[in-house]
Amino acid sequence: MRQPIVHCPQCDHPVTWNKTSLFRPFCSERCKLIDLGQWAKESYRIPDTDEKPQEEK
């Protein structure tokens, strides 16, 4: 069976998606830690699309 290939979200390096790819979807621990650091610094944000709830009268 053919193994799927994905691209590392940080450096775009091709990564084979299988059990031996320890850092998947990242190509290395370095790219994984860079991504974690970006989340910790709040460089990534999930947009808030909800309207603010109206106050009850």
In tens, the pLDDT along 3-54 reads 899 999 999 999 999 999 999 999 999 999 999 999 899 888 887 777 666 6
In the chain, alpha helices (H): 29-40
Domains, in order of start, for the chain? 5-40 (3.30.50.10)
**Tokens coding 1:** 């069976």
| Long-range CB contact pairs, 41-50, < 8 A, 24+ | none
C-alpha–C-alpha distance, residues 8 and 32, integer Å: 9
**How many other C-beta atoms lie within 10 A of the C-beta of residue 31?**
19
β-sheet bridge partners, residue 14: 7
pTM of the model: 0.70
Residue 55 has pLDDT above 70, yes or no: no
